A and B are shown apart, each in its own frame.
Chain A
């Protein structure tokens, strides 16, 4: 859906993005990851046409990005902001009608979303009377209620409690189920693993990784397997296993098959001699992959 090609942006002498090339497929939840100051927000601002890149192109459905495309996007900026003295409902009606909705549409959509977000009774409150989390939900409604094709959320989870995080996650998944696209940025990697289909990792304006989630996991999966047994194994029993022992602690074992052996044989062996309660291949968390990638800095990004 979105293709960025060699996007470069500098602020004075500081290079925020050094030629970012990535694709955002339609109907996916796309995670834009990177530490603070990596260029996530700059990329998002270029995508929302707030900023103009120094060079490079962005296309939506193969057409260069133009102002009309903005109506197809919903954008939740990292720095949240609403008119503090305006009532929630008036504010939503205003922001939604700026997105091209008719008054009636805006009214029914904002009513639906206020209900959904548990804010129906606050429609007549002024924004400044709401808690920060509530304000954030109001702003999220303003982002999504005009059902944009592309939802762009900059750090959407920051400042939300677990219940509201869950709610937001559900809405994002529901959005994908309807074939729409969600792009969100975060520096918290755990969420990404459960939510994203695609990810892009950027650091200091460089793209480190841009791929499907499973592909990333495939690429970084190891030959280590984690076992859980019912019995606590003794050091001798562990040593007797036909495998290289990575770690052993009580019931938990981490083993690597011996050269020439495959995982199936190892699992069968453990299962035959002990009561196996769990077994999984160890896939390093994104956080570790990320740290690893950042440390190998200078390597060309794999797109």
Chain B
């Protein structure tokens, strides 16, 4: 079993969940599987903690939830709201800025030295 990712991942699960839900509605188990699959097992969320995250995003109006019975189980499907789309755009922008910064430091750590 793969270990969940370390603390520097703070904020990343929200970005990934929003990006996945921008494609289509999904339920919790599907979301966790999709993240593992799309990241080729590089990103492994502690599965149970995805629900507090989903509920918190729903409480903020970023996601909407709908309960549906599928194959005998009550699935709660999450979907991105208009507010969620804005949040996703903002997070992608922030992520790209940080990624560029980290990449820049890794490539040339002495560039900015005084």
Say whether A associates with B.
no
Residues on A close to B: CB < 8 A? none
Residues on B close to A: CB < 8 A? none
